[in-house]
Amino acid sequence: MKWILPLLLILGLTACGGGRAVAPVGAYDYNSKQRKISPAPSYYTVQKGDTLYSISWRYGMDYKDVARINGIRSPYTIYVGQKLRFSAPPRTATAPVSRPPAQTKPVQPAPAPKATSPAPKTNTQAAKPAPTKTEPKFVGSQNLQWRWPTSGPVVSTYSESSPGRKGIDIAGKAGQDIIAAASGKVVYSGNGLPRYGNLLIIKHNDVYLSAYAHSEKLLVKEGDIVNAGQKIALMGRTGTQRDQLHFEIRRNGKPIDPLRFLPKR
């Protein structure tokens, strides 16, 4: 009779777990499941707070490609309600237009040239076009000096195969300083991207962008020029379950491993 009670206990645990070990509470990786890049739709309607950079970031595309497809020139201004495409429309072949043969006319002899007075001298120098405003040029790709955007342990690393791990997560305390990892221009400051919380995107040059997610407070706005090491936000947990910084680097719109660029600790 002594063995009956333990046997019933074992059978009960097996039934609850379906014959498998039951995962402990908290084993579900909330962030990696929620931060995957969404596939680009056929069209996207621009919403309030969007920038060309944030829209391109959302769908893992290079902002230059999105601008080219939609005929948008620097400084890449978009407006609410505008419809953006993410692929060029297919070319349609057109049949050649048939035209009737041209009727020929008898050639008349050219009239003798008349004597004319010399034309007055004019200034043949062409007028110079007015200069156009362009975005400031930042340092080249090879000269970027990256630095850690905040202090703290890395609790999640980049994974090329996992759709939810396109950057690194650095744990810390609420209100902790977050700094610009390199010099550049703020091209997005807001919370319009799902599951990123309060987010900053910085353009460093025509190739590299970096992002800083889940901030408690953003300290810079779109259009600001920031220097490497400048305080740009305070750490928080907007869009996540703990105080941390989610940091990404993208090259031509594609996520890459930030640890390849950050200095060794």
Per-residue pLDDT of the chain (265 residues), as tens digits, is 554 444 444 444 334 433 333 333 222 344 444 556 777 888 899 999 899 999 998 888 899 999 999 999 988 999 999 999 988 776 655 545 445 555 555 545 555 555 555 555 544 444 344 334 444 455 455 578 999 999 999 999 999 887 778 999 999 999 999 999 999 999 999 999 988 999 999 999 999 999 999 999 999 999 999 999 999 999 999 999 999 999 999 999 999 999 999 999 8
What single letter denotes the amino acid at residue 47? Q
CB atoms within 10 A of CB 60: 17
Q: What is the pLDDT of residue 34?
A: 52
- List the beta strands (DSSP E) in the chain: 43-45, 83-85, 154-156, 168-171, 177-179, 184-190, 198-203, 208-215, 217-218, 225-226, 231-234, 244-251, 254-256
Contacts of 45 (CB under 8 A, 6+ apart): 81, 82, 83, 84
Fold adopted by 140-260: Glucose Permease (Domain IIA) (2.70.70)
Q: What is the pLDDT of residue 185?
A: 97
Tokens of 98: 């048939």
Cα–Cα distance, 109 to 172 (Å, whole number): 92
Residue 73 in 3-state DSSP?
coil
Q: What is the pLDDT of residue 100?
A: 52
Dihedral sign computed on CA atoms, order 120, 121, 126, 130: negative
Under a CB-based contact definition with an 8 Å cutoff, are residues 63 and 56 in contact? yes
Distant-in-sequence contacts of 71-77, Cβ < 8 A, 24+ apart: 74/134, 74/135, 75/133, 75/134, 75/135, 76/51, 76/52
Q: What is the pLDDT of residue 206?
A: 93
Q: What is the pLDDT of residue 224?
A: 97
Residue 244 in 3-state DSSP?
strand
Q: What is the pLDDT of residue 163?
A: 72
